[in-house]
Amino acid sequence: MKQMKCLLMALMCLISSSVMADDTPIPVEQLPEAAKTFVQTNFKGQKIVYAEKDWNSFECRLADGTKIEFTKKGAWKKIDRKAAAVPEAIVPAAIQEYVKANFEGCMVTKIDKERYGYDIELSNDMDLKFNFQGVLIGMDD
């Protein structure tokens, strides 16, 4: 009987954790105000066409295909534009200067805030890692 209770508890934990991890579509209106303001300010003319929520974040997609991930409070965590540049207002100035000086003609198409700083991807598929001061700390191709 005791083994059955333990097995049942383990099964319940497994089911509840898998449900919590699922992304759930939500109406755009349910995005945090800070997230909606961020999109309106930095992606003028782009409409949010899809939004979803998981247990600790929100994600939205814009009409041009841009994907943006936000914290629960609406601060951006990740922006992926694929074929367009991430708006300059979002990319720290030191990172912009490094890219212009070392990767002429390339644009930042993806930026992630990480524990250590920023992970960016360029239009030439180079992956650069910077600390929060904008100093390059790693590179992948």
Give 83-137 pLDDT, tens digit per residue: 899 999 999 999 999 999 999 999 999 999 999 999 999 999 999 999 999 999 9
Total tally of structural domains belonging to the chain: 1
Q: In this structure, what CATH number is given to the domain that contains residue 72? A: 3.40.1420.30
Instruction: Specify if 43 maps to a domain.
Output: yes
Provide the pLDDT for residue 23. 87
H or E element in which residue 11 lies: helix 2-21
Provide the pLDDT for residue 21. 53
Secondary structure of residue 140 in the 3-state scheme: strand
In contact, 134 and 98? CB cutoff 8 Å: yes
Q: Could you tell me the residue range of the domain that residue 99 belongs to?
A: 24-140
Instruction: Specify if 108 maps to a domain.
Output: yes
Q: Return mean pLDDT, the chain.
A: 90
